[in-house]
Amino acid sequence: MTTDANTPDGAAAAKPAAKDPWDLPDVSGLVVGVLGGTGDQGRGLAYRLAKAGQQVIIGSRSAERAQAAAEELGLGVRGLDNAECARASDIVIVAVPWDGHAKTLQALREELAGKLVIDCVNPLGFDKKGAYALKPEEGSAAEQAAALLPDSRVTAAFHHLSAVLLQDPAVERIDTDVMVLGESRADTDIVQALAARIPGMRGIFAGRLRNAHQVESLVANLISVNRRYKAHAGLRVTDV
């Protein structure tokens, strides 16, 4: 008979059953705000999530611009300035350009306290050779967000989506996986569940925030793909 030296009575320790990674929470009642929601990416995400039945608030530096964008989308979408948007939302997607990222989040630290933040910002540069990845001091845009928002639950996702497809009402399904990164499984599960609300999409856990740089940078490769093949490329992770 073999005994387990790690337990006091020599009995083998029973391992808890592994949690099913596809057993995701119901997020349909959560309010989603989008900072920079007047832009292509934010507006596209707002449209898709509202179409899926989510309550959505578009945020902007100007309440008037947010309201105009919300009215254009319909689907019960509301528009508020970024601070009010953050305050009124359970989940806040950050969809501002990299240039305005740090300044926007610094100003909203209080409003974003306790909120689940999803950063989808890709720090990229462009020159005559095309797009290339920048190297943020903190490692990535997501890690910069986490450093600036110590009281928030920062995750990263939605980097690889085409804003053109998101905004096109003729496109019914967007067949792509969404890489989701974060420090807490409860939070990344929520983000995966949110991605799965959009027909064709799956949210896939892809690691902790220290690995966000590669995910953000990969967009430079996708832009090269799109230019060569005149496409709106997405990603699929196989065998999961």
Ligand X SMILES: NC(=O)c1ccc[n+]([C@@H]2O[C@H](COP(=O)([O-])OP(=O)(O)OC[C@H]3O[C@@H](n4cnc5c(N)ncnc54)[C@H](OP(=O)(O)O)[C@@H]3O)[C@@H](O)[C@H]2O)c1
Binding site for ligand X (CB under 6 A): 36, 38-42, 60-62, 65, 95-100, 104, 120-122, 159, 161-163
- Give the nearest distance from C-beta 17 to ligand X in angstroms: 36
Nearer to ligand X, 87 or 159 (CB): 159
Nearer to ligand X, 186 or 220 (CB): 220
**Angle in degrees, CA 223, 180, 79, rounded to 5:** 80
Nearer to ligand X, 162 or 188 (CB): 162
- Give the nearest distance from C-beta 223 to ligand X in angstroms: 9
Residue 90: other Cβ atoms inside 10 A:
15
Of 224, 176, 221, residue with least CA distance to 201: 176
Nearer to ligand X, 4 or 64 (CB): 64
- Give the nearest distance from C-beta 41 to ligand X in angstroms: 4
- Give the nearest distance from C-beta 81 to ligand X in angstroms: 9
Of 9, 10, 62, residue with least CA distance to 35: 62
- Give the nearest distance from C-beta 160 to ligand X in angstroms: 7
Residue 169 DSSP symbol: T
Buried b (16+ CB within 10 A) or exposed e, 58-67: bbbbebebbb
**Angle in degrees, CA 173, 212, 217, rounded to 5:** 75
Nearer to ligand X, 187 or 234 (CB): 234
